Structure formats: structure tokens, C-alpha cells
A = this chain, B = another copy of it.
Amino acid sequence: MITVQEAEQIINRHTIQLQSEEVPLQQAAGRILEEQVLADRDFPPFNRVTMDGIAVKFSDLENGIKVFNIAGIQAAGVAPMSIDQPGQALEVMTGAVMPEGTDTVIPYELISISENDKKATVVEALTTKGKNVHYKGSDRPQGSVILKSGTVIGAAEIGVAATVGKSTLSVRKAPKVAIVSTGDELVPIDQNPLPHQIRSSNAATLVTCLKDWAIEPGVYHLGDDLQGTTSTLKSLIDTYQILILSGGVSKGKFDYVPQALGSIQVKKDFHRIKQRPGKPLWFGTHESGTIVFAFPGNPVSSFMCFHRYLKPWLQRCMGLSVPVMQAVLTDTIYFKPALTYFAQVKISLEKGILYAQPVEGHGSGDLANLADADGFIELPAAKTRFLKGENYPIYPFRSKI
């Protein structure tokens, strides 16, 4: 058995290369950008009016002019008009181009307009030339990088890409993943199990977990049969980049997974970790590059192994940084075995502090307990008492902020 840290190091030595693919802009949310997005022109693309009011030449104000003749209206989306006489002004609307011959906008709030004779009287003086104008190129000059490669694409990035005319984006391609549940005791969700059977739930859970990464896995089931297990795994190794197995890795007589994987040249990098839950985790690599995570069949163990090992590894494969998050324990936990303990916790944020509150469990096999929790807190093997107020790493499985 190895430690949690050793397991993590081994797994992280085996990140895989992912290709890129072009997707429509509206399908790019949540994906990792695989190109630099550049400003296709200056931003703003013209000297842009930022307040509704009148556009004037500031020197007119300096020369004491207080009443302006309104020569017309410069609407947004219309080519620039122009003025060339002292004392002339144009009404301008937010988003419009600054008319030629003007340099300053006086907002409606600071003028009074006589609609009869089309005159605007300045009620309150402006002191700065260029006021209420957003200058061409002042945000981003043409050609500058406005979205960096490697960015996680969110709603803001979709807006930025739209602005520069990107109706498709190059994103990191999702890996090809197979989820393989094992065990004769499992029946499909829509069947009624016999008294000694249970419904398969790990595959459904893992499919959901992978959705965040735009992964649409193949889903398979294997009975407790060495020959069938071996031949199916062999064909899956050829087809997929990542195999996620659940079950069949304990010490049971029918736990054929390690043996089957060995016989098809999947190199075992480790089997069993000093942790609870999730002790039987098996990890290996095939010379084709396919990575195999064989999780325990226990639903809580499998869920924990996904969040502690597979998810951060996947983030690394995607080129993302993976900061370790910590939270403050709200209650003291005792745990005696010399194993790293992943306790289920409810996570809350109060006045800027992230708290982890242990959830009373019905036992590690109780999947329903996870519905009351938000994540796992990692309590190191070296200690037995984890005090209220201490910080420990957390692995949330629900987004809290």
C-alpha cells in the first residue's frame, strides 16, 4: 500500500495529450480555449459617446460659449456627422460615434434644451476636454490578445469572443472515456433487483461527473467472468484514452479486474492506497497510452476516488492549474486507523471564511449520505485528532461559489 501523496504523484506522471477541436461559440462554454483570441480592431472601434447629451468642441466652452445651436442628432449605429462652426453642437446618443469637429460630451443632466429654437444652454460647466468620450483603442488596440489560450471559457469569454466576431472557437478536445462497472450483483436502473442484487449506480454518477468536462463516455458492464472481462477490456483499451472501472479490485475470488488488466499488458502502477474510503484503488497504464483507473465498487469510495484523483488529473491533462483548496473544520474529528481519512463535509461560506462541517454518516457505503454533504475533507494519516478550527484540504463535489 502506498500513501495518498505517492498515489497522486504516480498518477500525475501520466497526464495525457489532448487534441483541439473547433466548436460553435455557444457550445464552447466550460471548455478550455486552445487559441489566442485577438482584438480584430481597436476597442472601442471609434471615439464612442458614453452619455446621452450634446457633443461640442471644448474650445467653445473655453471661449465662454454657453448656448449652442443643435445642428442635428447623432444616433448610435450611424456614420459620423460633423459640425464646423463655433457654437454648434449635435445631440449624441450613448454608443454613437463622436461627430467630426467635436471632442467633448455634455450630458443632458448639465444642459437645458429649448426644443422650439433648437438651442442647448449649459447649466453646469464641464471642466475637462474629452469628457464622456471613450477613445478609440483605449481599451484594447487592434491585434492585442484579449483571451489567452488555456482560459476556461465562461459567459464573459463568450461575450468577448462574440465582440471580435468569433462564431467558432478552438477548444481542447475531450478525451475518449469508457466507464465500466463490474459485478454480477448489479442490475440496470430500470430493472427490479432480486433480494441479493442491487441496481448499478456508479456509472450514472460518473457520467454526470464527466459532463463538466464535456466528456460523453461509453458505458459498459462486465460480469464476474475472467474471460469476458479480459476480452472486453482488451477492445476498450484499443478504443478509449481513459478507462474508468468500478468494482472488481478487492481481494475477492471473483475480483478479476487486476488479473484481466495484467494479462492484456496494462502495467499496474499501484494497487491499494492507505486511505478510507477507497483503499482498493488500482491505477495502471497501457503502452498505447490508455490510462486505467479502477475504482472500488462501493459508491462512496468510487465517488471519492473520482474527486481526489481523477478530476485533478483530468484538470492537469486539460492544462489547468489545480490549486489545493482548504476549509476550516467546524467540529473536531477523531480517526484512529493509520490511513488518510476522507470525511464527508457540508461546506459553507461565512464572512469570507470557508467552513467544513462533518456530516454524520450512516457508514461509508451509504450513498444517500452524500446528498447531505458538499465535499470530502482530507485528514492526514499521521494524526488521529483533527481539531475544530484547523484547516485541511477539501475536495468539493458541489459548486458553492
Chain A residues within 8 Å of B, Cβ to Cβ: 25-26, 29, 39, 43-46, 48, 50, 52, 73, 75-80, 91, 93-97, 108, 134, 138-140, 146-148, 151-152, 154-167, 183-186, 189-202, 204-209, 211, 224, 247, 250-255, 297, 299, 303, 323, 325-328, 347-355, 362-363, 365-371, 373, 391, 394, 396-401
Contact = CB atoms under 8 A, between A and B. Distances in A.
Contacts of A157: 371
Nearest to A108: B251
Contacts of A25: 189, 204
Given A75-B254, A91-B253, A200 B139 contact: no
B94 A252 contact: yes
Contacts of A303: 155-156, 159
Given A46-B195, A139-B368, A204-B159, A297 B94 contact: yes
B146 A297 contact: no
7 nearest A-B residue pairs (beta carbon):
A77-B185, A77-B184, A159-B205, A93-B252, A156-B370, A155-B208, A162-B201
Contacts of A199: 162-165
B401 A159 contact: no
A158 B208 contact: yes
Contact of A365 (B134, B164, B200, B355): B134
A391 B352 CA distance: 7
A368 B52 contact: no
